[in-house]
Amino acid sequence: MSFRLDLDLFPIAAGLLAALTCGLLGNFLVLRRLSLMGDAISHAVLPGLVIAFMLGATRSPLTMLAGAAAAGVATVVLIEAVKKLGRVEPGAAMGVVFSVLFALGVLLIERAAVRNIELHADCVLYGQLELLHWYGAPDSLTGLWSVATLQAIPRQVWLLLGMFAVAVVFVALLFKELRIASFDPALATSQGVHAGAMHYALMLLVAGATVAAFEAVGSILVIAMLIAPAATARLLTDRLSIQVWLSLAMAAAAAVGGYASAAAVPAWFDAPSVNAAGSMTLVAGVLLVAAVFFSPAHGVVARNLRRRALRRDTELDNLLASLLPGRGAGAADAANLPARPLAVAARRGLVRIDQAIPALTDDGRKRAAAVVRRHRLWESYLVEDAGLRPDHVHATAEQLEHLPVTPAQHTRLDPHGRPIDPTDENGTSPSA
Amino acid sequence: MSARHASIPEVQDAWPTWRQVADTLTFSAGYNTSVVLAGAALLGVAAGIVGAFALLRKRSLVADALSHATLPGIALAYLAATALGYAGKSTPILLLGATITGVLGVVSIQLLLRHTRLKEDAAIGLVLSIFFGAGAVLMSVIQSLPRGDAAGLQGYIFAQAAVMTGADAQLMGVIAVVAAVTAALLIKEFGLVCFDDQFARVQGWGVQTLDLAMLSLIVLVTVAGLQAVGLILVVALLIVPAVSARFWTERLHRLVILSGLIGGLSGYLGAATSALLPRKPAGAVIVLTAGAIFFVSLMLAPSRGVLAATIRRAKVRVRIAADHLLEAGFLHQHEGGAPRLHAEGVREVAQHRGWGPLMHAALRLHAIRTRLGRFEAGAFLLTPKGVERGRRVARNHRLWEQYLVTHAELAPSHIDWTVDQVEHVLSEDLVAQLESLLGDAAIPASGAARAAGAPG
């Protein structure tokens, strides 16, 4: 796709700013389990818009904004009221408030239509990025640095820029307070941070971001960007500060990538471009799915690999332990032993197979002894410190022995009377 | 209703005659209106019943995600059907598509919850917005197709333009009946899973299967409701009646029945209103009717309602205020005076406690009703019953004070406030326990015992 200043500059700017603002605030919503507040607010601004519209009977942006902002704040207050007054579960309280307000909005739109006022609920959902085309844009990027450019910046973009600045200042100044209020509201209050005030300030900003963004990019993108970048970043890191930066990167990637692919992907099939806000949402979704699978610490793939490595280690440990003298498989031939761990053990030089009879090498014997030792240490721990009966601990110890941690050794003998270090029993008691 | 729209759009705000109202409500205003009315009412009943379980299982907003996730299905079904040469806007095909992606959305939520550390709210919001975003993309694809008969699809989002045919309403009715009957048959199992799924599992119920059944019912109702109320508002039908019914009862059977009734009433009244008044979109009116019932329930329900709670709290406040008055009167008598509080004493207590004229009036009524005392020219005279009550309050106050100092290790200067709160709510049992724990130092036991000089 070729970038055209007149068609693409301001839509991209609007999408990017909306995504960044929502992505930034979303971090704290996701942590506080309030992700769906964005959903609720962006549905519930509809009646505010329509009422402001009917009162002003024009599309005056300021009245509309005021109406939407009022509705946004009213939503937050109403949800709290229903939750507290009616002791209704938070999710249900949200559902009641936003769906009834949205219904009111739909009804009012019909009334407004009676008076020949053009207003569609669709534009609240999808936004109207195409309104941001810049007719008379300079031909080249070098012509961009001029006062004319500043004058040409549409109102929607200014608004989003202002909202983004407010959100950045809010988060930068109150980061510490936001963090503590997000993770532990009670602790925050006891430390002198008013968690309730933080909550309302955050909600106010979310309402502001929703209102600022809906006209340009629509509420779908707002809802998605309030959750997806933060959730994606949350899968990638455990540190909040890193999560915030990552979420901003994700939001930017989704906005730019989504805008580009809205025109580029259909062009491969000779189709006209698709809804840009929806496409940005989809890219955010793709990024999320990628993080779900490929996150280094928490991803499905990494976890499965870790699990498989543990399983292999466990199999190997069990094989080596069974090959210790006097432990059942001492004289077994290779055919009766599990093939995969045996191959691994042979490759690593832990086992030597001599005429189909496997025997432990010195390294193998060391590792096997360590496994048996860990097993017996755990048995001692479970009996002496956890208070279990000696005949109840074998199965648990069988699992714990493969962990990289071991309990401290207090005694020489395990609960069954065997020396904890199996090298002590060589030659004395071959029964196991 | 569509006929009225087309023929007389000028009479926009004309009110229907009583005759029309009666005809509509009694299902005699023409076949189409009646079928739509019946369909909406049945849908409301089914949504109410299914929604009650969703509420108890704390799944209310899963329905929200589900309904948004139907949009890409509707669009894909249209595209597929058109590509294969069928009529794209055939209702069953579109609903089939809606069901498929709706279920896919619910499954995605479960997968996100199982395989990531995201919480339920984030999972719901992610599925909701991403699926809906995909829907928006597909809708814009459809709109750019040369065959421009896609306008009706928008109706599934808001149901503004959705004009139900008799056949559509019948389909909706059938789905609603299936959902309602299934829920009625499985009420015991669902209740168990809702209230204590661990216990249900231990008892050998297939919790996952039952959950799946419950979700299927939610899917059915959502898909059935798409045409009537649109995919954004269908979630209201699942949530609002159930939450409203919850105010009126604590019992599962009644909750389910009541929720169904409220849903049905909303559907019936909403559809009737929308049939009678032009430019009243059925979906919005149905949801607003349910919203009105919710508001009435929130305010007026007997024990959980706001009004009842306010009255209860006011009563407690008056009782506690009276206690303070009686305590002051008793102490006056205890120090050798008469069982009365002079006007000045009353004023002092009132000032200390910050009572307004309203509280004074309430206290007057309370004193008369309970026969604990009466006001006379600003002074407060205690009856013997009032003296006894005052003694008990004073005694509770000191018992609790002693307990906090000796057993909770609070400094004497720190306890006045908490004691003031607690002295009114000590139960008989607790008082007896405190007495045996603390012995009886300098606490007025009872007027009679004291007069007789007996140890207390």
Which tens digits make up the pLDDT trace of B245-254? Answer: 999 998 999 9
The pLDDT tens digits for A396-406 are 888 888 888 88
Q: Which of A29, A85, A96 to mutate to test the interface with B (most CBs of B within 10 A)?
A: A96
Query: Does the pLDDT of residue A368 top 80, yes or no?
Result: yes
Those of residues 238-257 in A touching chain B at CB distance below 8 A are: none
B60/A91 Cβ within 8 A: yes
The lowest-confidence range among A15-29, A237-251, B25-39 is B25-39
Query: Integer distance in angstroms from the first to the last C-alpha of chain A?
Result: 72
pLDDT value for B7: 36
- B6 to each of A36, B19, B230, B306, how far by Cα in Å? 40, 21, 22, 45
In sign, the C-alpha dihedral spanning A98, A100, A106, A112 is: negative
- A423 to each of A150, B174, B244, how far by Cα in Å? 81, 76, 72
Distance CA A198, CA A6 (A): 41
Share of chain B above pLDDT 90, in %: 21
Distance CA A386, CA B246 (A): 46
Q: At how many degrees (to 10) do helices B306-334 and B384-406 cross? A: 90
* Angular region, B454: left φ>0, alpha ψ -120 to 50, beta rest: beta
What pLDDT band is residue B452 in, cutting at 50, 70 and 90?
A: very low
Rg (CA), chain A: 32
Select from A212, A248, A204 the least CA-distant residue to A230: A248
Those of residues 54-83 in A touching chain B at CB distance below 8 A are: 82
A35/B124 Cβ within 8 A: yes
Q: At how many degrees (to 10) do helices B252-276 and B31-56 cross? A: 150
Share of chain A above pLDDT 90, in %: 25
| Nearest 10 degrees: Cα torsion B50, B54, B59, B65 | 10
For residue A219, count CB atoms less than 10 angstroms from its CB and return exposed for 0-12, middle for 13-18, buried for 19 or more: buried
Helix (H, G, I), strand (E, B) or coil at B88: coil
Which helix (H) or strand (E) is A354 found in, with range?
Answer: strand A351-354
The pLDDT tens digits for A308-335 are 999 999 999 988 888 887 665 555 666 7
Select from A219, A292, A227, A293 the least CA-distant residue to A254: A227
The lowest-confidence range among A63-72, B45-54, B86-95 is B86-95
The pLDDT tens digits for B384-437 are 888 888 888 888 888 888 887 777 777 776 666 667 777 777 777 887 887 777
Distance CA A324, CA B3 (A): 90
Structure tokens at A406: 């071991």
Q: Which of A25, A35, A43, A301 to mutate to test the interface with B (most CBs of B within 10 A)?
A: A35
**Full-model pTM:** 0.81
The lowest-confidence range among A306-320, B39-53, B442-456 is B442-456
Tell me whether A100 touches chain B (CB under 8 Å): yes
pLDDT value for A295: 92
Of A87, A125, A223, the CB nearest to B125: A223
Which helix (H) or strand (E) is A359 found in, with range?
Answer: strand A357-360
B290/A100 Cβ within 8 A: yes
Pairing relationship of beta strands B379-382 and A351-354 according to DSSP bridges: unpaired
Tell me whether B405 touches chain A (CB under 8 Å): no
Structure tokens at A46: 């509809």
Average pLDDT over all residues of chain B: 81
Tell me whether B135 touches chain A (CB under 8 Å): yes
B402: distance to nearest CA of chain A, Å?
A: 28
ipTM for this model: 0.84
Of A107, A109, A277, the CB nearest to B285: A107
Of A106, A224, A226, the CB nearest to B160: A106
The pLDDT tens digits for B139-149 are 888 887 776 56
Q: Where are the alpha helices (DSSP H) in A295-406?
A: 300-323, 339-347, 362-384, 394-400
Backbone angles phi, psi at B322, to 5 degrees: -60, -40
The average pLDDT across B22-35 equals 75
Select from B283, B306, B145, B187 the least CA-distant residue to B227: B283
Those of residues 273-292 in B touching chain A at CB distance below 8 A are: 279-281, 283-288, 290-291
The pLDDT tens digits for A13-58 are 899 999 999 999 999 999 988 888 888 888 888 888 888 877 765 6
pLDDT value for A53: 77
Max avg pLDDT among A38-42, A97-101, B272-276: A97-101
Backbone angles phi, psi at B381, to 5 degrees: -100, 125
Those of residues 241-270 in B touching chain A at CB distance below 8 A are: 242-243, 246-247
Contacts with A110 from chain B: Cβ below 8 Å: 160, 279-281, 284
Query: Does the pLDDT of residue B174 top 80, yes or no?
Result: yes
* Degrees, nearest 5: CA angle A147-A149-A151: 75
CA B387 to chain centre: 44
Those of residues 80-109 in B touching chain A at CB distance below 8 A are: none
B154/A281 Cβ within 8 A: no
Rg (CA), chain B: 32
